[in-house]
Structure 1
């Protein structure tokens, strides 16, 4: 279940932090609106002066116009700069919040979400928020102020003419309100499908080898086209609704001006309005109508923003580790050496049967515990529980007698080095990848760790050696090379607990045997757990646990388990021996 770890993202909360820049922008937008009113008043005086042939006052009035224009230009500059500063600051703040939330997200939550959808919230949704804050938010202040100022001036000039001109406005605002209602939902749906399309595209890049091997290019293209078509349909429907507002805006702009032209001309002919006043009336009415005609667009933009903000806000209700029940980030700390114990531990993923059932065992320093079993038996899940990625649904997991849920998370993971089967590498240098668990490590320490994992020889043959940049996900290296770097990374961390998930799956038998000798020396005083399907890796283990369908069906040393002819371990051993002999035969043939 997803809980509120932070309050649902409030754009106002982030805006308030930089409200000074918004305030400056609003002030100068007001000044800009006032300059138009002042210009209209001066123009009126100039027209009256021209009609009455009072040439003496023209020079002063032109100077006033120049001053007003200068103030207006400064206002426009300050308005745009401060709104840009405001939008950039708020967007930067939201990006930081998203990343902080992302790094605290539980592994369970991350495994359920699509990477492309998360990326879309950063690359598609946030730029829209930035553009809205930069170019549109001050319009929500400028246009109402322009309407009020123009309205006041026009009422003073001739309220009957004004009333006749704006009678149609309320009707159109009602139509706009009805027309824009679906925009919020459509915006949210369009962004959702765009996120799905991103996910499919990323899968096509990351899984390109599998796609080509299994010749599924057409299926992936069809899937991408289908999701993209849904995104296109929602986007077009959204644009259709927004485009309909263009017609409404045109009528809103044109009709009042036409009424003013006809009725104002009538009032001027019969002396109820001066010629100069009619010109200024039309000048200001045009500004007022333009502001009123922007209302449909403002309403549509606001509703579209609501949909996007909701998508960003939904991200902040995804579970994070700081709020998991029974877990803390400021809990107890454990002193070494580490004694690890599972007591009747059970676990199940959401809506699934138990992956682990009543698991009990103990591990400690200078003791190697190995876990073996068929795929899907729950071997790797044990490591996820030890690392605190998931909460066990039953039983206890203790370190030195303390339940791991009470241990500070960062401290817990500082006690653990892990070599995982997928050997994930970051797109930085090889040296930086090895030093991941110990950023302050010297080059000598990095090289020593690489030599222990038999990675040094291939590293120094690379063009830049230890400074060679690793491609995204380490795909520029072979599986065996990635695994050796992963082992070096675990070695340099020198943690008291070592978890090895299929540590030599990408290595040949010869490399595995040599590496095994080095690792055995490094395991001194460590608590070591190994998950593997290769029995050659665990023959010297102090305790071997045989898992089958989430239960421990056998336990003992290699020799003890081999004595049981009808046991699962013996069957796995016989299968492994056959595979090992075949691998040795192939190696001899390649020599």
Structure 2
């Protein structure tokens, strides 16, 4: 049986630890000040009226004096206490957002490939900001409303017991209606936040793909798609507003009924001579301490439910399991590995809820050799890279690195030994210097410059006005394709890992850029074991060994000349590319 998770509210409160004194001081102030104000005003009214009718000037002056002292005390304490309270809430929000960011960073690749990045952005920004309200003023405002109603009801009891009976009877109804309305409002709030995430995802798609949008005249398509998502957000927002409105209206109606009933009872008791005129006015003022909370409770409750709906979305992500290995010990039977840098033995793999995409994969990569993966698109070559990088675990069989099962390494240890150059190199917004330094963050400037020179990147970098401080833009859009490739190669050179995984991408480059990139790649591969995904077979003619992957299987293997002699799939692909050149 799985352990039941704590409520979102309790989990949010855990982020307050270390700041409890400031938080509770502010919460106590918020909760008590309204009740104190209502009692003070009611007492003052009673004393003023009764003192005036009795002609007691001394009592009148004393009453005003004490009231002023009380009000000034409450007002003077407010700024300092509320600053401490707000600071505690902001620190808790900071910790929550940082935890969510760290957790998203450590989620497995399967999560990131199945979840739009716009959704993660929405949860880190909109949802966290909304969830903050659940530990901000709303819960203490609700407590304040309850305390105020309780204290004023007790004070009414000192005036006449019948006020208490009436107040208790009339306050049961809003408690029941608010409890009934809470879950639908919270569910509607989560739906609104999810719709906002979808809206953000569509906006991000359009902005990132703007060149394609323009080139294919897709402006109207994206306009319509965004308008449709926007309309759905509006519809869900209306549903939430409708539920909130009904709840607020019912509380206002019950509040008006309470005020009228209390006023009628006070008039009746005055006519019977059971209370004084001052007590009637005090009861009227105290009635506000019941009716105002009844009016405000609905809106405050709605705000709290909206915040908890957002918190539910935050904790849904925090409850996702992080990337981890099912660790194994070193196995005794590794006779087939025999000194290979990389070995895959009878490996099979399937993505979640899909058929096998790799079946019975057996391959070896000798230290210092260059081994290529060739074959038609969708055959499973990129999936092999994902397994070696630890993005996914094999369903069957075993992968080895340096004679050890991959899972005997920690993920950090595994990836420290691999340099990866993807087909479409990703550059982060920032400078060229920073993007190269990601290969080894503790590298010296001299090492970074040396890596750039080896990657044939130094010359073009120095020709830029800002040199290494040039901003590359989002995804490196300020650089050409060949320049991005060379910066990515410099990053891999700087890492200086023994195993290189290279997803070849020279087919989209002009001849000059291709020459520079190929020259840089030759330097990168020197002294390293290289496994390369080849999209143009002419680039792997001198590879030490080639595996041909199709339909998730290795269908052919050998050197370039051996595969041509086989007169199989490799030869057909090679000749087709020669004819197309």
Task: Provide TM-score, normalisation by structure 1.
Answer: 0.90
Is 1:111 equivalent to 2:113 in the alignment? Answer: yes
Distance 1:404 1:181 in 2: 47
- Distance in 2 (CA, whole Å) between partners of 1:257 and 1:516 is 84
Superposition deviation, residue 28 in structure 1: 1.9
> Matches of 1:191 and 1:217 in 2, distance apart?
26
1:278 maps to which residue?
A: 280
Q: Residue 137 of structure 1 aligns to a residue in which SS?
A: helix
**Deviation larger for 269-278 or 429-438:** 269-278
Aligned residue runs from structure 1 range 213-252, under 5 A: 213-252=215-254
Q: What is the CA–CA distance in structure 1 between the aligned matches of 2:72 and 2:513, rounded to whole Å?
A: 78
Who is 2:541 aligned against? 539
Matches of 1:388 and 1:535 in 2, distance apart? 27
Change in Cα spacing, 1:176 to 1:511, as seen in structure 2 (3 Å) is closer
1:274 Cα deviation (Å)?
0.8
- Does residue 498 of structure 1 match 2:500? yes
Determine the structure 2 residue equivalent to 1:64. 66
Change (3 A) 1:327 1:312: farther
Q: Which structure 2 residues correspond to residues 489-528 of structure 1 after superposition, within 5 A?
A: 489-528=491-530
Matched, 1:374 2:371: no
Once residues 136 and 501 of structure 2 are traced to their aligned partners in structure 1, the CA distance between those partners, rounded to angstroms, is 50
- The 5 A counterparts of 1:192-203 are 192-203=194-205
Q: Could you tell me how far apart the structure 1 residues matched to 2:20 and 2:535 are? A: 59
Structure 1 residue 497 displacement after superposition:
0.7
Aligned length: 568
Identify if the C-alpha distance between structure 1 residues 514 and 149 changes in structure 2 by more than 3 Å, giving closer, same or farther: closer
Once the two structures are TM-superposed, the CA of residue 453 in structure 1 deviates from its matched residue by 1.8
Alpha-carbon distance between aligned partners in 2 of 1:406 and 1:558, rounded to the nearest angstrom: 34
| Secondary structure class of the residue paired with 2:160 | helix
Say whether residues 1:149 and 2:137 are aligned partners.
no
Residue 334 of structure 2 corresponds to: none
Q: 1:2-59 deviations in whole A, cap 9, x for unaligned?
A: x99x988622332445433321112223441334323432442233222211112333
Do the aligned partners of 2:489 and 2:520 also contact (CA within 8 Å) in 1?
A: no
Deviation at 1:543, TM superposition (A): 0.7
Give 2:562's match in structure 1, choosing from 549, 557, 560: 560
Aligned CA RMSD, in angstroms, stands at 2.4
Instruction: Provide, for residues 369-397 of structure 1, a one-character-per-residue CA deviation record: whole Å limited to 9, x for no partner.
Output: 11111111111111111110011111111
> Bigger shift: 203-212 or 39-48?
39-48
Equivalent residues in 2 for 1:25-104, closer than 5 Å: 25-32=26-33, 33-104=35-106
What is the rounded CA distance, in whole Å, between the counterparts of 1:133 and 1:172 in structure 2?
A: 23
Deviates more, 1:276-285 or 1:287-296: 287-296
Q: Which runs of 5+ in 2 are unaligned?
A: 330-338
Q: CA, structure 1 residues 176+521, in 2 after alignment: closer, same or farther (shift >3 Å)?
A: closer
Tell me if structure 2 keeps the 8 A contact 1:344–1:357: yes
Matching residue of 2:13: 12
Aligned residue among 314, 319, 322 for 1:320? 322
Distance in 2, matches of 1:118 and 1:519, equals 35
Unaligned runs of 5+ in 1: 329-336, 581-591
* Deviation (angstroms), 1:464: 0.7
Against the structure 1 CA distance between its residues 510 and 555, is the aligned structure 2 distance closer, same or farther, given a 3 Å change threshold?
A: farther
Aligned in 2, Cα 1:252/1:82: closer, same or farther, shift over 3 Å? Answer: farther
> What's the TM-score, normalizing by structure 2?
0.92
- Take 2:18 and 2:143, find their aligned partners in 1: how far apart are those partners? 19
**Structure 1 stretch displaced more, 224-233 or 274-283:** 224-233
